Amino acid sequence: MPQAFCLHVAGDFACFTRPEMKVERVSYDLITPSAARSIFEAILWKPAMRWRVQRIEVLKPIRWINLRRNEVGAVISTTNVQQAMNAGQGDLALYVEDERQQRAGLFLRDVAYRLHATLEVRSDEPRQKYEEMFQRRSSKGQCVNQPYLGCREFAADVRLVDAASAQPEPIDETRDLGWMLYDLDFTHATSPQPHFFRAQMQGGVVEVPAFEEAAA
C-alpha cells in the first residue's frame, strides 16, 4: 500500500485564482488540489512519479482581504527569444515601467491547511525509494523550490506532520464550495484541459476524489 504523507502548510496570504474571473484575481475559498500537489512537488518531483492529493483539512477560519498590486502586463516574446538564440545575442529585457499594471485582488489571509497525499510511481522503480527520499527531504525542510500558496510572492511555511504528535482539529464548518479546479490534463501537451470537481467541506475537511472522477 502507498504510504500516506501529511504536510502542515501555512502562510500570511494565499490566492488560488478562479479561472472564470479573467483579469482580476479572485481566490477560491481554500487551496485547490493542483496547488496542494505543487507543494508536494516542490519538495520532491521526478518524471516517473505523481502525487495524488486525497484530503485537505482547513485549520483556520476562511478570511479575506482586498489588495491592489502592481503587476507586469506582458511577457518576453518567444520570437525574440528564438532570434536571440539563433544570433547568440539580443535584447530580451522587459522594462517594468512600460508594462506595469495595477490590478485588484480578493485574497485569502492567515491560512493553514493539512494536506494528505500518496505517491504514485509510473515506472518499474520501487515506490519505497521515492517515499524514503520524500520522508528525508521533508523532515529536514529541504525543497527544490520555495513552496507557495497560489502566487509565488505568497510563500508557504511547510513542515512534515508527525502522526504521533497532537494536531489541531479542523475548523467546525460545513459548506458546499461549488465547482473547483482540480488539475490540468496534459494528455495532449499542446492543449491541456482543465478538470473540475464539486468541492464539499464537511467539518473543515474536503475529500478529494480520484482525478479520473473529476469532470472535464
Domains of the chain: 4-69+103-211 (3.30.70.2660)
Dump pLDDT digits (tens) for 42-79. Answer: 999 988 889 999 999 999 999 999 988 777 777 777 88
Nearest to 135 by CA among 161, 109, 107, 155: 161
Cα dihedral value 180, 186, 190, 194, nearest 10:
-10
Cβ contacts of 120-126, under 8 Å, gap ≥ 24: 120/2, 120/49, 120/50, 120/51, 120/52, 121/48, 121/49, 122/48, 122/49, 122/50, 123/48, 125/48
What confidence score (pLDDT) does residue 136 get?
93
> 53-57, 119-123, 199-203: lowest mean pLDDT where?
119-123
Look up the pTM and report it.
Answer: 0.85
| Most confident stretch, 30-39, 79-88, 190-199 | 30-39
pLDDT in tens, 141-184: 899 999 999 999 999 999 999 877 888 999 999 999 999 999 88
Q: Give residue 55's pLDDT.
A: 96
Query: Residue 215 — very low, low, confident or very high, per pLDDT cuts 50/70/90?
Result: low
